[in-house]
Homo-oligomer: A and B are copies of this chain.
Amino acid sequence: MLRFLTAGESHGEAVISILEGMVAGLRVDTGSIDTQLKRRMQGYGRGDRMKIENDTVRILSGLKDGSTLASPITMMVKNKDASIDTLPPLSCPRPGHADLAGGLKYNQKDMRTILERSSARETVARVSVGSICKLFLSELGIEVISHVKVIGGVDCHTRDLSYEQVRDQAEKSKTRCADGAATKLMVEEIDGAKESGDTLGGCFEVIARGVPAGLGSHTHWDRKLDANIARALMSIQAIKGVSVGIGMGAAIKRGSKCHDEIIYKKGHGFLRRTN
């Protein structure tokens, strides 16, 4: 059983994670974690915070000579801006954030005590943990990729692309979209929204390849793979929906028509590709 705890505030000293339960003997190259941390900071139109951070991980435990010991692995990413104790208080909860609920729950008047932890900067810890897991999965021939499908209503066309094309073209796109034409439109949409002081949402797809049949289990609700994937994804800041396979598309067509192509065109939510 793998488990992990993440820690760290947005303007605290560092973002830290401990991953417990990893096997012994896995080679860990910190460069590969830094690569994932760098990928995390990309994306056209990200906020200013992204620009000052240049995250690199430091592994404080769990390795000897670059290999895992099966003991807990501690990963620390220092924050460039560690001003948490000097930042001015913020008394007004921001809508759409954890401020109000958190402030009420923990009896806090300064919203900064909430937002410092609810911040998406916490995902630095999850990317660190995930990067080690990626190395482990890679040993088993499992690869997990993702690509952006929709931003601000701009959909993409990727149904004619192979798995490798989706993976590689998304990596090169400014908006992590495998469709070059859609990337351009997405960039325009982002620029437009920025100009008018607005924001945009989007939709991305995660694809895992090489996964053995039988992960998770049908025998108890909390062992189901889909359920645990949904929990993990929905726990990411700003994620509002998770779909598996046909997803919400199932609501609008008959079972006999639920093949991938149709759903794919519609671009509703996540989709498990079968090619």
Smallest beta-carbon distance A118→chain B, Å: 4
Q: Known A98-B218, A230-B231; judge A252-B152 contact (CB<8 A).
A: yes
Q: Is A101 touching B214 in the complex (CB atoms < 8 A)? A: yes
In the complex, which residue of chain B has the Cβ closest to the Cβ of A258?
B201
Taking CB atoms and an 8 Å cut-off, the chain A residues in 193-248 that contact chain B are 193, 198-203, 213-215, 217-222, 224, 226-236, 239-248
What number of A residues sit within 8 Å (CB to CB) of B? 106
Compute how far the CA of A244 lies from the CA of B118 in the bound complex, rounded to whole angstroms. Answer: 18
Report Cα–Cα, A242/B246, bound state, in Å: 12
C-alpha spacing A30/B151, complex, angstroms:
47
Q: Which 8 A-B pairs have the closest CB atoms?
A: A105-B214, A201-B250, A199-B255, A241-B243, A231-B231, A227-B235, A7-B72, A230-B234
The interface of chain A, by Cβ under 8 A from chain B, is: 1, 3-9, 12-16, 18, 20-21, 23-25, 60-62, 64-65, 69-74, 76, 84-85, 98, 100-102, 104-108, 112-114, 116-118, 122, 126, 149-153, 193, 198-203, 213-215, 217-222, 224, 226-236, 239-256, 258, 267-270
